[in-house]
C-alpha cells in the first residue's frame, strides 16, 4: 500500500508588479520564496520599466487578466499563503479581494501596501489607499507598511517608535488586521526598529543600520520571506523574525550591481547548501 503523504506546504501566490531591473517586485519575490525553499507562483498586476535609478514607466495589466491568473493558479496548484505587493489602482485592489473571496478564502494574506518606489515614483493611485484601508487590511494576516505607508493608511505621524506603535495599534485594533509590522527603515537613527503587533501584544525588533546602497526591494523581500515561512507552517511572529534575519543577510550579500539603489543578494542561502 502506498504511504499517505501530508498536504504539501510552501506554496506562495504572489500578486504584484514586475520589476525589469530584477531588484524588487515579482522578481525579488520569486527569488526570495525560492531561496527559502518555497514554491512561488504569480499573478502580475503591472509591468514596470525600471532599474536601480528609478521607474520610468508603468503598464497596468487589465483586471480581468489579473483575476484569470489567480483563478487558474488556485484551481490547479493551490496556495498556502498569498503575498500582495504592488496593486496599482482601486480596481486592481477590488479585483484581488474578490478573487480571494472566490478562490482563496481562508488562505493567509501577507499584505505589503506598496505605494512609492525606492526612487520616489508613485506606484499606487490615491483612491486605492482607501480601498486597501477599508477592505483589504481587515482580511490580512499581516500588513507590512514602512513609515510613509503607515502614515497614509492610518493618518498618524510615524517618525519614531511611539508613532510606529500608534500606527500598528490602528491597523490591528481599528482597521482589523490580524497583525501589523510597521517598519522603521525610513526613520533616522543608527538602530532600525520594526514594530510587530499581534493580538497577543507588541514585539520590537532592533537591528544596527547597515551603511549600504543595497536597499532596492527590501520591503518586497521581507514580505515575501514572511510569506514563504508562513506557507511552510511557521506562525506570523516567528515568520517575521526569520524573515528579518534573511533580509539582513541578503543586504550583506548584495552583488553591488547598478548606479542607484542597488539590489539584494537573495540567493545567499544557496551558498550554504
Name the grid cell of 40: 512561488
Among the listed residues 217, 243, 258, 265, the single catalytic one is 217
218 is catalytic: yes
Name the grid cell of 238: 516567528
| C-alpha 151, offset from chain centre | 17
Name the grid cell of 193: 526598529
Other CB atoms within a 10 A radius of the CB of residue 236 amount to 20
Among the listed residues 34, 52, 215, 221, the single catalytic one is 215
β-bridge mates for residue 176, sequence order = none
Among the listed residues 42, 220, 221, 243, the single catalytic one is 220
* 139 vs 146: CA distance, rounded Å: 19
215 is catalytic: yes
Name the grid cell of 218: 527590501
88 is catalytic: no
Among the listed residues 104, 219, 243, 265, the single catalytic one is 219
Beta sheet of 39-51, edge-to-edge order: 54-60, 39-51, 11-19, 81-84, 109-111, 142-143, 180-182, 191-198, 201-208
Q: For residue 62, what are the contacts with CB-CB under 8 A and spacing of at least 6?
A: none
258 is catalytic: no
256 is catalytic: no
Among the listed residues 218, 221, 243, 258, the single catalytic one is 218
Name the grid cell of 215: 536597499
* 110 vs 83: CA distance, rounded Å: 5
Among the listed residues 31, 83, 118, 183, the single catalytic one is 183
| Residues with a known catalytic role | 183, 215, 217-220
Amino acid at each position: 500500500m502506498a504511504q499517505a503523504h501530508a498536504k504539501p506546504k510552501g506554496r506562495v501566490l504572489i500578486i504584484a508588479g514586475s520589476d525589469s531591473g530584477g531588484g524588487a517586485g515579482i522578481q525579488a519575490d520569486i527569488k526570495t520564496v525560492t531561496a527559502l525553499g518555497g514554491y512561488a507562483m504569480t499573478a502580475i498586476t503591472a509591468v514596470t520599466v525600471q532599474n536601480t535609478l528609478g521607474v520610468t514607466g508603468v503598464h497596468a495589466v487589465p483586471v480581468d487578466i489579473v483575476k484569470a491568473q489567480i483563478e487558474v493558479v488556485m484551481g490547479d496548484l493551490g496556495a498556502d499563503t498569498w503575498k500582495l505587493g504592488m496593486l496599482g489602482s482601486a480596481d486592481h485592489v477590488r479585483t484581488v479581494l474578490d478573487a480571494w473571496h472566490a478562490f482563496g478564502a481562508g488562505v493567509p494574506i501577507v499584505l505589503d501596501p506598496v505605494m512609492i518606489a525606492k526612487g520616489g515614483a508613485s506606484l499606487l493611485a490615491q483612491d486605492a489607499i482607501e480601498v486597501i484601508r477599508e477592505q483589504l487590511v481587515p482580511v490580512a494576516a499581516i500588513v507590512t507598511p514602512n513609515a510613509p505607508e503607515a502614515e497614509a493608511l492610518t493618518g498618524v505621524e510615524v517618525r519614531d517608535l511611539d508613532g510606529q506603535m500608534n500606527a500598528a495599534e490602528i491597523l490591528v485594533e481599528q482597521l482589523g488586521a490580524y497583525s501589523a509590522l510597521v517598519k522603521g527603515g525610513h526613520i533616522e537613527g543608527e538602530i532600525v526598529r520594526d514594530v510587530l503587533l499581534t493580538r497577543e501584544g507588541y514585539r520590537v525588533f532592533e537591528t544596527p543600520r547597515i551603511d549600504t546602497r543595497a536597499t532596492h526591494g527590501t520591503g518586497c523581500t521581507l514580505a515575501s520571506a514572511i510569506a514563504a515561512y508562513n506557507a511552510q507552517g511557521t506562525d506570523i511572529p516567528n515568520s517575521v523574525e526569520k524573515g528579518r534575519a534573511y533580509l539582513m543577510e541578503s543586504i550583506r550579500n548584495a552583488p553591488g550591481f547598478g548606479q542607484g539603489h542597488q539590489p539584494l543578494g537573495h540567493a545567499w542561502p544557496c551558498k550554504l547548501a
